[in-house]
Every structure is written in C-alpha cells, then in structure tokens.
C-alpha cells in the first residue's frame, strides 16, 4: 500500500501517522520528492482501514498494491479448487452443465425438465423455489413446496440440485439442497454471506449486476473467511448502457477470475442475454474462454413459464446446445 | 402495453394468444401493418408477466406504456406524501437534515456528534450499528450495542434516529428505532422489503448502485404493497465509469422521482462522492433540484473513524455546510 | 412506430397530427384505451424525425418497432457480406487475422513485425501512422512517413495494410492503403463517415467506447448510404465500471451484430483488455462466438514501443496465439 | 509516479530500467518490501509513456500520483480563467446563459428566437448549422447557409454566437463566429483539437458521453498546448444505465472541474435530459453547484423543429426558466 502525502506536511503529523502505522506491524519506506512524498507500507495490509488513513489531514490519497482478499487469492493458493458435489465436479478439467427451469412450477414440470436435461447431458438440476422478482405483483415462487418438488426430482433423476436462497429465515428448508445459490442481488448481502461461511455446502455465488471483479472476490472471501471454501463463482452479465441484451455478458471475467483466484467459474448465458438463440454461441465462447461450467435455463413450455419464460430454451433447443457444448468441451480436453 | 408480433404469424396462434389475454381481463386493439402487426392491451397490465408473453413464439417484443408501479405512482396519488416522525417531517414544504457518523463507535462519540449536529440544525440523527463492508476484515459495527448507544443519544438529544437494517434476524433490536434504513446493497433484498411492508415504521430506502429509477420505485412498491406507505427515497450515487468521485450523484433523479412518485426524496452527498469538500456544493444543488432532505456524515474525529472516515465532515465543517443549507432552504421557502 | 398519446388529447390536435403523419406517406392505426391511446404507424418510418413527434404537445412518447437502418440491415440483405481485399477475404466462412504494431516506428520495426506476423499466419498488416492519444504530450505517430513505411512493408511481405484515418485532411495519403480504419473516437465523426461513403475502399469501423449496437450500425449506415458497402465492424471493448481490464470486451455483440446485420465482424482483444495474456483466451472465445476476424497488436520489442507497448504481444507470443487460433478456426470449419 | 515491480526482479533489469528513467531527468526512490518493491519517480512525469514502462517485463503496474495535464491544471494556475467574448464574460463572478435553437432553420426562426432569448436575458445565441445526427437520413443542418443566418441574427440582436464545428474542412466558414463549439462526439477528435489550439477564438468543449473528467481536461489540454487558452468546459450528460433521461447529468463534475482546473464550466440541461420540464430544476441546481453558465435549447415552435424539438423550450417556458435563473444567480451573488 502506498500513501501519497499532501504537499509540505508538518513533520510532527508525519511522525504521528508513521507511529500509528508501525503499531499495526507494518514496515515503512519513505520516498521524498520535490512536489510529492510517498510512504510505502510493507506487511499484511489486507486488514488496514483505508478510509481511516485517507481521512488523515496530511494524506492526499492511498493506493493499494496488493489484493485485499487472501483465501480466494491464487497467489496464496496456486492450485485450482475443484468443488465435488456427490461425485459431480466443478473445476479445472471438467465442463459441467447446470440446467433447469427458472422456477419450479409443478411436479410434472420439474420432473419432465429434469429428465430432459439429464438425457441431454446436464450434470446438475437448477430450479428456483424462491424467486427474486422486480415487481411485488409477479410470481414469487412456490417456496417450501418448490424445494420439496426439487427434492422429488432429485430422487427421480439422481442429479444434485442447485437453488437460490433469498433469506436466512428459509435456511432450514435447504438442508437437502446440494448447492446453495446466492443471487446477483444478494452478492453483497453480507449477513447472508457470513452465515453461509459456516455452512458445509457448496455456494454458487453470482456476481452482482454492477460489482467489480474485486468486489466479487471479496464476497467470496466473506464466505471463505467463515471456513467454507466450496465457493463457485458465476458471471451472469453486468449492467451497461447497451439495451439490445438484458445485461452484457463479461466473458473477459473468466480468464481474469481464473488468473486472480483458484475458484471455479460458471457462466450463465441465459440470464446475461435474456435471449434463447444467444445461449449457443455464448456457451461455446465461454468454454473457449476457460469457463468450468455453464448454467442454462430450460423449460418444457417456455410460453407458459411463470417466470423468465422468454429466455428459456425448450428441451429440444437445449439438446442442440448440448451437442455443441460437448464438441467444444472435447476440443478443449474437458471431461463433460 | 403493446405486443409487437413477428412477421406473418399464424392466425390460429394469434387467436390463442388473444384469448389468453382477454382472460386476464384486458381489452385488445389490433393494428395490422405491411411488415408489422401490433396488439395494444388496455386494462390493468401491472400484474402481467411480460416474460410469458415474450416467450410466445409469435411475439417479437413487448413494450410497456404505463408504469408497473401503482402505490408509489403519482398518477394515482397526486398529493405529496409527507412522512411524519414524532413531529419531524420529511416531504414537501420541509427541508430536513439527517446527520451523524457512519458508525456508532462509543457512547462519548455518538453523544458528542449528536449534540453537535443538533446544535447546527440537523433534525434526525443517523449512525450505523450494522455496517455493510466490502471486506470481511473491516469493522462491521457494534451491532446490538450500537443500537443501545443510539437510543441513549436519542434520549439525550431528543432527535429521531435513523439506522440501517442488514438482516431480518436483527429486526427485534429495531423496535425503538424511528426510521429503518434499507441500504443500497439491499434495495432488491425482496424478502426484507416484504417484511418491512408489514412494519409501521418509516423506511428510508436507498437506491442501489446500478438500479434504474423504475426499479427503485418497484422496490418502494414492495414495501407499500404490504401496507406501509411511509417510504422515503434516497439517492446516494450510482455506479458509472467516472473514477474521480466514489459514485456519480444523479441529481436529475430528484425532479424525475418527484414527477413519477409522491414519495419524499433525500440526497446523500457524503456517500455519493466520498469527498468532504463536495458535500456543500452538492447539498445546495440538491435543494435547488427539489430534494426534501439531506443525509450527511459527520464525525467528531474523522481521522480516527472506524469506517468511512475519509468522507465525514468535522462538526465545524458541518456547521458551515448547515449555514449554506439554511440560506438555501429559506431561498426555496422550505421550513428547516 | 408507435405513438403513445397523453391522457385526453383534444380531438382537433389528434387530427392535425394524423394529417401530418399521413402526409409522410404513413398508414395509421388507432387504439383507444381507458387510460392510454396509441397510434400505430405503418410504412417507411426510417426517415421520420422522432424528436418532432415527441415535441408535439399531445404526445407522451414514441417507440420504434423496426430498426432505423436499412443498408446494414440483414432483413433487407439476408446474405452475409464478404469483404474481399486483393483476394484476402473477411466474412462468413473465413477467419482472418489482422496483426501488427500499434504504431509504425521505423522501417526495421514494421518490416520485422510484418515478416513475423505473416510467418505466423496473419493475413493483414496493421500499424498506426496517425495515433489518437489522450495526451497531447504523447507520441502522435509518424504521419505521412508512417504511411510510407507501411507501404514499404506491404511491398516486402505482400499483405494488405490496415491503418487509421484521423482527419479527412490526410485522406490523400491513404490512396494506396487497402483498408481504412475509423477509430472508436471517430465512430460518430459523421463528416468523416459521409466522405468515406464516397470512397471505394473497405472501411474497418470501430465501435465507440460507449456506443450502442444500434448506433454502431447507424454509423455503418452513414458509410453505406454514400454507396460504399465494404464496411467491416470491429468490437474493441466498451466502457463499463469494471477497472481490471482497460475496457470490457462485449462478445455478445458478435452474435447480435451478425443477427441484425450482414456485415462481417472483427474482434480486437488487444485494445479491449490492454493485457497481453488475455489475447489468447479471448481470441478463442471470439471465434467460438462467430467472429469473422481478429485484430491483434504485435511488437518486436513491447518494452520499447512508443505507444500501447503494454498490450502488445511479442512475435513469439503471437505465434503461440496463432496456433490456438488456427486450431479453433479449423474446429469451426473456417478457412484461415 | 509509482512503479510497482513484480516479485523478485533480476537486479540487472532493475538497473537497466532505473538508468532509462534517470535519462528522462527523473529522480528515483526505492522502497523494498517483503513481497513488493516500488520505485517512486520524482520530476516532470507528464510526458512519460506509461505504456512503455508497463510493458517492461519486471513491472507489475504503474500508478500516477499527479495529474497528466498542466495548462488546464489549477495547481499551476490558481486564478479562475474568465473568457471574454466581446464584453460578454464566462467565468467566476458571472452567470451567463447561452440559448437558441438546436438547428438554424430559417431567417425568421433564428431571428425570432434570438430576439426572444435576448429579451429574457440570455447573453449568447446558440444555433446549429452543422448537426451531428445518429441517422444519415435525419436533417443535417443548413451548413454554410446556417452560419450566414446566424450572422444575420447576430447583427440584428448584437449577441455573440456559439455554433458547432464538425469538420476542419468547414473552418473557413467560422471566421465571424464568436465561440466555436466542439461537440461531445468530437471531444477526442484530436486533429480538430490541435488545429483549434492555433485559433484565437474561444472554444466551448463538450464532454464526451463516456469520457472521464481527466480525459475531458486532457482534451482541453490539447487545445491549450497549441496556445489557445480560451477554453470553456461543458458538461452535457454522461451515458449510464438509467433510461428515464436521455443521459445522466453529472452535476458533481462542476465542483470537481473547478477544483482541478481554472477553466469556466457550463451546464447543458437540455441535452443532458432531453426533457423540457427538467431544464428549470437542473438549471437552478447547476448554479448552486457552482456552474458559470448554462446552455439551453429554445425553439419558437418545438413541435415543428427539424431536430431535437422534444427537448426545446418555447420562448415562454424559457422566460419562466430565466426568472428562476436570475433569482438564483442573484442569491449566489453572480452577475447575470
């Protein structure tokens, strides 16, 4: 960390600040210039309160040099993390597909979709029981009943299930869920992240619509700091000025996340674009960019879906996407 | 709502869709063109699932014409809402200032700041007991102890207190809090919004970093749909590409929110910019743009603040800002 | 196009507006609802001035249903355009690589790089003679001398050259240039686009940093409206809130552009990210997403480059990227 | 400027780099840490090529500490610049209003509008002769004829005129124009900026839609580096994710620009919002934030305007805005 001092600071104040910093166990290096003076801090700066330093009257600005996350940082954990869910793996060397409807709507629906996506090669079943909807008047999911239907489908098709948690109050209902999803809108629901850090279940953490990659990794760090190292990162589109797709899929986040962190990375082209015909080219591109898994919405009757129907693939269209995905995975020497 | 059909849809499918829409109680108007056909929907479209219509195979796109919110909509509630908190009012005709430290740190600190901001003319005391921090290693607030200290300060200075709720699990601790704040990161924590809809306390709802004005009003609608109409909207900066301020304060949101909705609007220049010397010009500008209240961070010793010290004003600097604010409010014929 | 009228418009004003619209050769369809009335416009609306209609006192808003571009629109030109530059093709079925240094610096440099990129499989040589630099104190390119050196290199290696035009005043110098590049900052330099519409040279048009896909296609339309149909679209990263890459590469623009338009699409991963090691995964992803060509910066000595050295690949690193690119192109059945 | 070195750089390479930096006249300060080593550079770093340093194989990253602009920098020019146009002043102490139609359309129109805005208190007449339009099919302005009509209006009402230059090819036509406007789309048309640096006319430079404040000041620097110090900065809305206004007016840019630079700052609420009724509250807010001038679109018949009619005020509405503006300016002790 580098502290840039204001012009001509009082020597006394510089010494006060220096003493406070040394008290934090840091070593200081001074660099005195004609118009600018710097203090370089050496040591563990990840727990330093930048705000407090910036508020000091002799400080112009503070610049971080090293990343503020540790558990999620590849520098301290060079090997790729592979998350193992009942034998289904997400991480380096594998290409896993998570598929299913946006919302669980009925026993028939979820089982029909589950069988279809399994037949096409998906490894995980997704489905929402609690649905984050912009409008209070929109369908909000079947809640506990939805979880039960997911578990029935799991029993029927023997696939691990992934479903979203929207409130810690519902956590008890998730005891048989295999992977807990934290949605984009809750990426910085820190109380939820802390609690999930004490869980032993894999967490699929979605990037917030307007969160930087560093903030994304800091949210992973919240979970990991609690002891749960099974975090799966999911890029699902960021908010930009471009209106032709629902969000803008940031595929450059794949190599960047894998460079900065050892955690596996999933791409969700369905939510990112909101457009079914874009799922295939962007799934292929995601694999080429290095993604470890894909998350794709499939509905047996998109035009009657109670939520996000417009972005769902039919089972037939999903099968076509999966053929392309399998060929691409094979080309990349990934196990699918 | 307008449905744009794809070219040459089958007449049978058009009739199926039309029947389904009429079943929802809507009247349909057809407009057949050479290359495009439209269906205009008349009736209460606020509960319609756009996704379901967009997923229909004969539909090209769907365009909303009227707003999807009702309770928050000025069209159905032309008169300004004035939120009354123990006689302190926020809304048309008043200019209220909410001030205090980012975090409650100690009894001495909160009482000293409370006295100072009251002396300068603030009407509400703010202070965080639960703090949303990007890093799990940063100070997270004093939690229940912080609430207790706020209540002590309230007793001492007789000002209503405003503090942030981060989890429904903590709601019991907020029974004596006057105004519950929902932070920007929880603006779309829908389970929290629903629960607060059943509360009888005023809710200060902060706009999410990357949320549109429509989404902001939809989150207010979540609270109001539950029966709680005491919602105060707070613009606190949005995320853009500009790095010189922490966020970009969207002052055009003030007249736009007041045009679309009857709810009062607060501006938080401290969080929006992160820069103490920008609080004064932007507070003045907010009042001129029509804001009903300001939310300003004040700390008795910014350089030792455990959180966001860099953006806090000293009591002296706050007093100077308040002199400008009072003159501006008087110029605008607002009671302060 | 759909005109949404304000509530209860005067019948007389509606008739005045209707008459004016019919005078433009349009057919009108009325849809009268309880709270909203619409007018659907049928006919060629691409030349309609939306602003003029929106300014009408009885109009609430105007919504486009069809695209405002024609020459660039795939609906009116279903077949892919393949741009042929002296036998080197860019478009469907081909995967072309344009490579070279950011700036031309010397005869030795440009010829050495040209030979290297040709040996690795690039089909086009790029190099800047006129450089758009944020700072007036930065190296601005060799200007006319740079063009001369590019032409020398062209003679030496027999590759078509691509170079950026920054002012119409320099156009005479470009008579032997094969492809004229319009940079991102000039994407809406409409006077330049109009002039290039009268040229017979292929134009490589870069998307502006904050321009939508529709605006991008409208800029292509400017060139095509003048008669020059040899337009190549280049996505080079858009400006978002994410700081870890220089810009955010919008790979979803590839399938979207190819869906909306028949023009070929190039991806420039070097400028999009500014990070050499990201060029390989994103080049692969671009090909999988359907890109027709890649534009990659290569410098024989990046650490001494006078411009954008940090993002350039060495010839050795480029050769490694090209091996991956060739395999990927073969997998996609593209001729490289 | 601070150079962060990669871990364990070879001592030889560090010395090579150090020698190169000292050759540029810089003094170096080393700060060797456990995991990170830094080099602090002291001296004139504004002409340093950051890219070249970043491309060095032992360099991790480079961080600027001081601003890259000099002529526009308040640090080297503490006094406010006041631009004097035939006695009409823009700058500290004055509040000037520039008003007129988006496009010049006819002699009657421009003279009628000119008389009206003068009567209401505007000091400068604006009007476009060359119009940047997204669509090639939209009205492009009257070109040379438009300039002539502006000059007729100038003669009639004795107000300095402001009009946009879209190509250096048209520069001869601007010899009697008082203030040359560089539009947002040309903010980084560096060849144009360089040429205008040799002009002796005041330049009204509009901020690009997605340009940072630093880039904006660097474009001003381009003009000033050529010797023309009469630059007026104009904020006219930036591109964000918010769709309810055409752009998002960045009013925090006013105090920030005036903090960083000595140049006067103009706000254009008409283009920023595209909504006539927002001009009044945002004009008031702009003045409170410290703006030196306003630029407002006025048309005698907005519904028939050939361009941007929807955002224009009628002369009556403008007069109402001016009453508010005059009161606000008086309150701020500005001469209007």
Q: Is B140 on the interface with D (CB under 8 A)?
A: no
**What is the 3-state secondary structure of A61-107?**
EEECCCCCCCCCEHHHCCCCCCEEECCEEECCCECEEEEECCECCCH
A-contacting chains (≥3 CB pairs under 8 Å): B, C, D
Q: Identify the residue with better confidence: D41 or D79.
A: D79
* Percent of chain A at pLDDT exceeding 70: 99
Subunit contact B35:C4, Cβ cutoff 8 A:
no
Q: Is D256 on the interface with A (CB under 8 A)?
A: no
Band (pLDDT 50/70/90 cuts) for residue D34 is low
Whether residues B15 and B149 share a domain: the answer is no
Q: CATH number, domain at D100? A: 3.20.20.70
Q: What is the largest CA-CA distance in chain B?
A: 75
Q: For residue A134, count other CB atoms closer than 10 A to its CB.
A: 18
Q: What is the pLDDT of residue B35?
A: 63
Q: Is A43 on the interface with D (CB under 8 A)?
A: yes
By the 10 Å C-beta count (0-12 exposed, 13-18 middle, 19+ buried), D158 is classed as exposed
Please report whether residue D69 resides in a domain. no
- Whether A85 shows a pLDDT value over 90: the answer reads yes
Closest by Cβ to D33, choosing from A31, A42, A61: A42
Q: How many CA atoms lie within 13 A of A6 on its CB side?
A: 13
Subunit contact B239:A210, Cβ cutoff 8 A:
yes
Residue D29 CA to its chain's centroid (Å):
37
Whether residues C119 and C56 share a domain: the answer is no
Q: For residue C28, count other CB atoms closer than 10 A to its CB.
A: 17
How far is the alpha carbon of B332 from chain A, nearest alpha carbon, in Å?
33
Q: Rounded to the nearest 5°, which phi and psi values hold at D63?
A: -120, 130
Q: Give dist(CA C94, CA C79) in Å, integer.
A: 15
Closest by Cβ to B209, choosing from A57, A135, A210: A210
Please report whether residue C336 resides in a domain. no
DSSP assigned state of D314: P
Q: Annotate A243-275 with b (16+ C-beta within 10 A) or e (fewer).
A: ebbbbbbbbbbbbbbbebbbbbbbbbbbbbbbb
Subunit contact A248:C252, Cβ cutoff 8 A:
yes
DSSP assigned state of B16: H
- Summarised one tens digit per residue, pLDDT across range C124-142 is 999 999 999 988 988 899 9
Closest CA to A7 of D76, B158, C310: D76
Q: Give dist(CA B219, CA B232) in Å, integer.
A: 11
Evaluated on CA atoms D308, D311, D315, D321, the torsion sign reads negative
* CB < 8 Å from C in window 54-83 of B: 60-61, 63, 65-66
Q: What is the pLDDT of residue B224?
A: 97
Crossing angle of helices C315-331 and C107-120, in 10° steps, is: 30
* CB < 8 Å from D in window 228-247 of B: 238, 240-245
- Beta-carbon contacts of C196 under 8 Å, excluding residues fewer than 6 positions away, are C165, C180, C182, C203, C223, C226, C228
Q: What is the pLDDT of residue A49?
A: 77
Q: Is C250 on the interface with D (CB under 8 A)?
A: no
Subunit contact D40:A38, Cβ cutoff 8 A:
yes
Q: Compare all CA atoms of chain C with the CA of B5 and give the residue at the minimum distance.
A: C65
Q: Compare all CA atoms of chain A with the CA of C285 and give the residue at the minimum distance.
A: A285
Closest by Cβ to D2, choosing from A2, A30, A32: A2
Whether residues D78 and D53 share a domain: the answer is no
Please report whether residue C275 resides in a domain. yes
On whether the CB atoms of residues D88 and D123 are closer than 8 A, the answer is: yes
Torsion of CA B114, B119, B122, B128, to 10 degrees: -10
Final residue belonging to a domain, choices A37, A63, A89: A63
Residue whose token pair is 């008169």: B79
With left for phi above 0 and alpha for psi between -120 and 50, is residue A151 left, alpha or beta? Answer: alpha
Q: What is the pLDDT of residue C281?
A: 98
- Whether B56 shows a pLDDT value over 90: the answer reads no
What domain count does chain C have? 2
How far is the alpha carbon of D100 from chain A, nearest alpha carbon, in Å?
30
Contacts of B290 in chain D (CB under 8 A): 281
Final residue belonging to a domain, choices A63, A93, A115: A63
Closest CA to B122 of B158, B150, B156, B86: B158
Contacts of D311 in chain C (CB under 8 A): 51, 55
Alpha carbon distances (Å) from B331 to B100, B312, C305 = 25, 26, 58
Whether residues B36 and B112 share a domain: the answer is no
Mean pLDDT calculated for residue range D192-197:
97
End-to-end alpha carbon distance in chain A: 43
- Summarised one tens digit per residue, pLDDT across range B137-152 is 888 999 999 999 999 9
Torsion of CA B271, B141, A45, D60, to 10 degrees: -40
Contacts of B5 in chain C (CB under 8 A): none
Q: CATH number, domain at C27? A: 3.30.70.1140
Q: What is the pLDDT of residue D33?
A: 64
Q: Is D225 on the interface with C (CB under 8 A)?
A: yes
Whether residues A20 and A127 share a domain: the answer is no
Contacts of B282 in chain D (CB under 8 A): 251-252, 255, 289
Whether residues A302 and A254 share a domain: the answer is yes
By the 10 Å C-beta count (0-12 exposed, 13-18 middle, 19+ buried), A310 is classed as buried
Closest CA to B239 of B208, B282, B202: B208
Contacts of D248 in chain B (CB under 8 A): 238, 240, 248, 250, 252
- Whether C273 shows a pLDDT value over 80: the answer reads yes
Contacts of A308 in chain B (CB under 8 A): 51
- Whether A34 shows a pLDDT value over 70: the answer reads no
Closest by Cβ to B285, choosing from D242, D285, D331: D285
Mean pLDDT calculated for residue range C329-336:
96
Whether residues C181 and C211 share a domain: the answer is yes
How far is the alpha carbon of B56 from chain A, nearest alpha carbon, in Å?
5
- Summarised one tens digit per residue, pLDDT across range A265-301 is 999 999 999 999 999 999 999 999 999 999 999 999 8
Q: What is the pLDDT of residue B54?
A: 83
Band (pLDDT 50/70/90 cuts) for residue C34 is low
Whether residues B108 and B254 share a domain: the answer is yes
- Summarised one tens digit per residue, pLDDT across range A152-180 is 999 999 999 999 999 999 999 999 999 99
Whether residues D54 and D98 share a domain: the answer is no
Please report whether residue C262 resides in a domain. yes
Whether residues A162 and A25 share a domain: the answer is no
Q: Compare all CA atoms of chain A with the CA of D42 and give the residue at the minimum distance.
A: A33
Please report whether residue D336 resides in a domain. no
Whether residues A282 and A317 share a domain: the answer is yes
* CB < 8 Å from A in window 92-131 of B: 130
Band (pLDDT 50/70/90 cuts) for residue A261 is very high
- Whether D192 shows a pLDDT value over 90: the answer reads yes
Please report whether residue B241 resides in a domain. yes
Mean pLDDT value across chain A: 93
Band (pLDDT 50/70/90 cuts) for residue A33 is low
DSSP assigned state of C81: P
Mean pLDDT calculated for residue range B242-249:
96
- Summarised one tens digit per residue, pLDDT across range B18-54 is 988 888 888 888 877 656 678 888 777 777 777 778 8
Contacts of D281 in chain B (CB under 8 A): 254-255, 288-290
Please report whether residue B336 resides in a domain. no
Whether residues B113 and B256 share a domain: the answer is yes
Q: What is the pLDDT of residue B64?
A: 79
Q: Is A35 on the interface with D (CB under 8 A)?
A: yes
Q: Give dist(CA A278, CA A286) in Å, integer.
A: 12
Closest by Cβ to D31, choosing from A4, A36, A40: A40
- Whether B217 shows a pLDDT value over 90: the answer reads yes
* CB < 8 Å from C in window 284-303 of D: 302-303
Subunit contact D212:B242, Cβ cutoff 8 A:
yes
Q: Identify the residue with better confidence: D151 or D134.
A: D151
Band (pLDDT 50/70/90 cuts) for residue C180 is very high
Final residue belonging to a domain, choices A33, A63, A93: A63
Band (pLDDT 50/70/90 cuts) for residue A315 is very high
Domain of residue B32, residue span:
2-63
Please report whether residue C68 resides in a domain. no
Contacts of C2 in chain B (CB under 8 A): 2, 38, 63
Q: For residue C255, count other CB atoms closer than 10 A to its CB.
A: 23
* Three-state SS at B297: strand
Q: What is the pLDDT of residue A29?
A: 80
ipTM for the whole complex: 0.92
* Percent of chain A at pLDDT exceeding 90: 73
Subunit contact A210:C241, Cβ cutoff 8 A:
yes
Alpha carbon distances (Å) from D188 to B210, D136, D209 = 27, 21, 11
**What is the 3-state secondary structure of D20-82?**
HHHHCCCEEEEEECCCCEEEEEECCCCCCCHHHHHCCCCEEEEECCCCCCCCCEHHHCCCCCC
Q: Give dist(CA D150, CA A227) in Å, integer.
A: 71
């Amino acid at each position: 960390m580098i502290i840039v001092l204001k012009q001509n600071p009082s020597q006394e104040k510089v010494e006060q600040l220096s003493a406070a910093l040394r008290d934090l166990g840091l070593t200081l290096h001074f660099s005195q210039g004609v118009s600018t003076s710097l203090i370089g801090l050496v040591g563990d700066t990840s727990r330093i309160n930048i705000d407090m330093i910036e508020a000091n009257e002799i400080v112009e600005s503070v610049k971080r040099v090293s990343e503020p996350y540790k558990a999620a940082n590849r520098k301290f954990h060079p090997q790729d993390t592979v998350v193992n869910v009942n034998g289904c793996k997400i991480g380096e060397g594998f290409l896993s597909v998570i598929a299913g409807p946006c919302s669980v709507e009925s026993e028939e629906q979820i089982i029909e979709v589950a069988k279809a996506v399994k037949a096409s090669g998906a490894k995980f079943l997704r489905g929402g029981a609690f649905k984050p909807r912009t409008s209070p008047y929109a369908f909000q999911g079947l809640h506990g009943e939805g979880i039960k239907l997911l578990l029935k489908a799991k029993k029927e098709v023997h696939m691990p299930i992934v479903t979203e948690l929207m409130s810690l109050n519902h956590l008890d209902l998730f005891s048989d869920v295999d992977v807990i999803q934290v949605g984009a809108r809750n990426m910085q629901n820190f109380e939820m992240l802390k609690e999930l850090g004490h869980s032993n279940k894999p967490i699929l953490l979605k990037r917030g619509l307007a969160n930087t990659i560093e903030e994304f990794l800091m949210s992973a760090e919240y979970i990991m700091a609690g002891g749960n190292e099974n975090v799966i990162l999911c890029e699902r589109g960021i908010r930009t000025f471009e209106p032709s797709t629902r969000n803008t899929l940031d595929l450059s986040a794949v190599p960047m996340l894998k460079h900065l962190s050892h955690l596996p990375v999933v791409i969700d082209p369905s939510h990112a674009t909101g457009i079914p015909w874009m799922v295939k080219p962007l799934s292929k591109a995601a694999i080429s960019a290095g993604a470890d898994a894909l998350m794709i919405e499939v509905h047996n009757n998109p035009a009657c879906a109670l939520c996000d129907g417009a972005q769902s693939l039919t089972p037939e269209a999903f099968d076509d996407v999966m053929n392309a995905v399998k060929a691409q995975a094979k080309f990349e020497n990934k196990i699918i």
